[in-house]
Structure 1
Amino acid sequence: MLLRMRVSLPDRPGGLGQVARALGALGADILQVTVLERESGRAVDDFTVSWPGAATTDEVRDRLSAVPGVRIEGVWTTREVPGSAPDYDLLMHVAADPGRAFSTLVDALPGLCWAEWSLTLSGGAVRHASLSAPAVFDLDEPPLRATTRVSEKLRLMLLPVAAHDLHVVVARSEGPGFHRAEVERAARIVDVVSALSRR
């Protein structure tokens, strides 16, 4: 089973090694590590691991929380292929067919952002939607800049596209809320897609 884990740990020499040893002792194989932030003496890293057996996300959280100084911010299943470059693939598809830019974008964003679905809104109506996205979505007070919100059981990323009078919505039900590094990355991708769509 492939899992993604968001871990907050002390930002000191050996801290990452301590988490890696704990994961190894539990039989997990680390496939990828992404550093999201390093500040105030702590680091926040996303680990993609191959987890043996059918352990639940709660069991994984309990086992890793026993490591001194480590906080588990989220554990969720993933379909991510470590080492792939889906953001580049998305941009190549958009460059090849700019007329379908936003349809291609919302189809790709769930995979890029480890989310369940995404859509675009314009004038309160859904214009483009990925699989599993709702046909109707109400966005009270659309934001003027990229931001996050929590809505019922969903963690939302909201990305305005002023040039097209659109808002991109990305939704995650498992795992932690979107980290600012994830929002910044998605916002840059949306900006490039917007520019390519106007070619």
Structure 2
Amino acid sequence: MLLRLRVSLPDRPGGLGQVAKSLGALGADIMQVTVLEREAGRAVDDFTVSWPGPVTASEARDRLSAMPGVRVEGVWATKEVPGSALDYDLLMHVVSQPARGFAALVDALPGLCGAEWSVALADGAVRHASLAAPAKFELNLPEPPPRAATMDANELRLMLLPVVAQGLHLVVARADGPVFHRAELERAARIVDVVAKLAARA
């Protein structure tokens, strides 16, 4: 099964290699590594791994937490395919069909953000929802905020991505895993900005 692991480790030469070696000893095949931050002597990395056989998130966390100096911040199942270029695929789709830009964006955001679902809200109503989105979604939101933000609500980790010119809130949610990292938020916000500009041409 594919898992995503968020690991905080000492930022020193060989630190990443030690984690990789430990993951290999546990039977995990590392498919992708994303560096989210490096500061205050520590690094935060996301590992996408293929783990043979069924393994629960708590089992993976317990095994990894035994490594000296390593903190496991989150373990969750993922469907993202390492090495795929979902962001480029999305942008090509929006360029070819800009009128469907926001619908395509909402459909793509869960895969781009390691999340489960997303919705576009306007005036309290759902304008478009990804496949796994709940039938009803209630969240008291102000007018579109001036910048992207994260929050927790109803046991969900949420990313709020405003499209002020369209009066939209884009909401991305995941139930498992840690809160969205600022690097994830910034990447999603840039993608939203590009799609908004392309869709405006329609």
The separation in 1 between residues aligned to 2:126 and 2:171, in whole angstroms, is 10
- 2:189 corresponds to which of 172, 182, 187: 187
Partner of 1:109: 109
- 1:177 corresponds to which of 176, 179, 186: 179
Q: Give SS of 1:94's match.
A: helix
The separation in 2 between residues aligned to 1:79 and 1:141, in whole angstroms, is 29
The separation in 2 between residues aligned to 1:119 and 1:135, in whole angstroms, is 11
Q: In the alignment, is the contact (CA less than 8 A) between 1:11 and 1:43 conserved in 2?
A: yes
Partner of 2:129: 129
Q: Give SS of 1:52's match.
A: coil
Matched, 1:148 2:150: yes
The separation in 2 between residues aligned to 1:123 and 1:107, in whole angstroms, is 20
Partner of 2:37: 37
Partner of 1:4: 4
The separation in 2 between residues aligned to 1:190 and 1:133, in whole angstroms, is 19
Instruction: Report the residue type matching 2:73 in the other structure.
Output: E
Instruction: Report the residue type matching 1:140 in the other structure.
Output: N
Partner of 2:167: 165
Q: Which runs of 4+ in 1 moved over 4 A?
A: none
Q: What is the correspondence of 1:91-106 to structure 2 with a 5 Å cutoff?
A: 91-106=91-106
Instruction: Report the residue type matching 1:50 in the other structure.
Output: S
1:55 to partner: Cα distance: 1.5
Partner of 1:23: 23
Q: Could you tell me the TM-score, scaled by structure 2's length?
A: 0.96
What residue ranges of structure 2 are gaps of 5+ in the alignment?
A: none
Q: In the alignment, is the contact (CA less than 8 A) between 1:5 and 1:46 conserved in 2?
A: yes
Q: What is the correspondence of 1:69-88 to structure 2 with a 5 Å cutoff?
A: 69-88=69-88
Q: In the alignment, is the contact (CA less than 8 A) between 1:61 and 1:75 conserved in 2?
A: yes
1:134 to partner: Cα distance: 2.7
The separation in 1 between residues aligned to 2:82 and 2:121, in whole angstroms, is 31
Q: In the alignment, is the contact (CA less than 8 A) between 1:125 and 1:136 conserved in 2?
A: no
Larger mean CA deviation between 140-149 and 186-195 belongs to 140-149
After superposition, the CA RMSD in angstroms is: 1.0
Instruction: Report the residue type matching 1:89 in the other structure.
Output: D
The separation in 2 between residues aligned to 1:152 and 1:165, in whole angstroms, is 24
The separation in 1 between residues aligned to 2:134 and 2:79, in whole angstroms, is 21
Q: Report how many aligned residue pairs link the two structures.
A: 199
1:136 to partner: Cα distance: 3.6
Q: Could you tell me the TM-score, scaled by structure 1's length?
A: 0.97
The separation in 2 between residues aligned to 1:136 and 1:2, in whole angstroms, is 29
Matched, 1:56 2:46: no
1:130 to partner: Cα distance: 0.6
Instruction: Report the residue type matching 1:21 in the other structure.
Output: K
The separation in 1 between residues aligned to 2:141 and 2:113, in whole angstroms, is 23
Q: In the alignment, is the contact (CA less than 8 A) between 1:159 and 1:169 conserved in 2?
A: yes
